[in-house]
Structure 1
Amino acid sequence: MVEVRVPNLDCEGCASKLKKALFKLKGVEEVDIEMEMQKITVRGYLVEEKKVLKAIKRAGKAVEPWPFPGYSHFASFYKYPSHIVNHYY
């Protein structure tokens, strides 16, 4: 699943154009567009964020990754506080 923010996504024509461009990508099964949030969610098999971003840019819209990173982003940076770890060694 890939989530992106498309600023100024405010008309059905633009949304339809983007949906059409995204369905051309290999593996895309579903495209959800939330215009009030300026958010597009793309679901499918092995859908890559960089390809989604590129397709939207080619369709003539500005795009950026969705501002809220997923759980995996935080999980990779988790560390115990040094005072707890050092206390036992």
Structure 2
Amino acid sequence: MSEHEYKFEVVMTCSGCSGAVERVLSKLQGVDSYDVSLESQSVVVRGSAPFDTVLEKIKKTGKEVKSSQVVR
């Protein structure tokens, strides 16, 4: 599978919020790596997982996704 990179702007107010996002991404098949930044309110995901699948997993944490894009 090809390597994708997705960027999301996610509303996270504390380390518990960013931790919840990290937990779902760590369990998601097809995710090779991710960077969750509470400071910049951003999540960057790399791997072969489909964009919609990653987006839905992040939304299921209850966090608001303000914007999302496919980088490559």
| TM-score calculated relative to the size of structure 2 | 0.77
1:14 aligned partner, one-letter code: C
Q: Greater helix share, 1 or 2? A: 1
Larger Rg: 1
* Alignment gaps of 5+ in structure 1: 73-89
| TM-score calculated relative to the size of structure 1 | 0.65
- Across the aligned residues of Structure 1 and Structure 2, the Cα RMSD in angstroms comes to 1.8
- Residue in structure 1 matching 2:45, options 32, 42, 47: 42
What count of residue pairs does the alignment treat as equivalent? 67
User: Match of 1:4?
Assistant: 8
Conserved? CA contact 1:26–1:47, under 8 Å: yes
Q: Greater strand share, 1 or 2? A: 2
Specify which structure has the bigger relative contact order, considering alpha-carbon pairs within 8 angstroms and separated by 6 or more residues: 2
Runs of 4+ residues deviating >3 angstroms: none
- The percent of aligned pairs where both chains have the same amino acid is 33
